[in-house]
């Protein structure tokens, strides 16, 4: 099902400043709401830089949402070098000021559609317990929890979770 795009929404790939916009939103949101430290911000920035430096449009997707030219969120699909036939959903976030407008659902829908069209067999993501609105979006899209464990990172202990969506077979 394709949804109607919210008024003033533009979806686009990389643009100058996108790395900073995505990194800043992650760093501020997760620091303010979850107490994540500098190690999280550097992890986001380093990973995103490495991803975009080797970006392959046949298997990777980088999509930013802008509302009236203001950065509102992002999502990426990384054709996984770690798992054969898999793609990893990463850097998925919607600015709290833009939540509730269908932007997150639309980004996720576009990412899953891209993954199917790119020939990926499954999509997986890592998140952590407590992000219930995001979990509901994942589960509505067909993702299922496949793994959970405690881990010490980003200045605290979190219950990390892996969700997976089978696209074929």
Tens of pLDDT, residue by residue over 149-168, are 566 665 666 667 788 999 97
Phi, psi of 83 (to 5 degrees): -135, 120
CA atoms within 13 A on the CB side of 60: 17
C-alpha to C-alpha distance for 48 and 60, rounded to whole angstroms: 12
User: How does the average pLDDT of the chain come out, rounded?
Assistant: 87
C-alpha to C-alpha distance for 122 and 39, rounded to whole angstroms: 29
Which residues, 6 or more positions from 160, have their beta carbon under 8 angstroms from its beta carbon? 126, 127, 128, 129, 148, 149, 150, 151
Residue 158 pairs in a beta bridge with 151
Verdict on whether the full-model pTM lies above 0.75: yes
- How big is the CA angle at 136 (ends 131 and 140), to the nearest 5 degrees? 150
Residue 39: how many other CB atoms lie within 10 Å:
11
9-123 carries CATH number 3.40.630.30: yes
Is the pLDDT score of 72 beyond 70? yes
Report how many helices (DSSP H) and strands (DSSP E) the chain contains, helices first: 4, 7
Highest mean pLDDT among 25-29, 30-34, 160-164: 25-29
Tens of pLDDT, residue by residue over 7-20, are 788 999 999 999 99
């Amino acid at each position: 099902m394709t949804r109607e795009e919210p008024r003033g929404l533009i979806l686009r790939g990389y643009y100058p400043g996108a790395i900073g916009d995505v990194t800043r939103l992650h760093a501020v949101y997760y620091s303010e709401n979850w107490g994540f430290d500098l190690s999280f911000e550097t992890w986001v920035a380093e990973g995103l830089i490495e991803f975009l430096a080797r970006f392959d449009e046949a298997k990777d997707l980088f999509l930013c949402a802008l509302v009236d030219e203001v950065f509102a969120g992002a999502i990426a699909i990384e054709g996984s070098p770690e798992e054969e036939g898999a793609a990893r959903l990463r850097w998925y976030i919607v600015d709290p000021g833009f939540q509730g407008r269908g932007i997150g659902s639309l980004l996720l829908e576009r990412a899953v559609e891209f993954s199917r069209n790119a020939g990926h067999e499954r999509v997986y993501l890592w998140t952590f317990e407590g992000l219930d609105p995001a979990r509901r979006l994942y589960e509505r899209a067909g993702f299922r929890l496949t793994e959970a464990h405690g881990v010490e990172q980003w200045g605290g202990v979190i219950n990390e979770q892996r969700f997976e969506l089978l696209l074929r077979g």
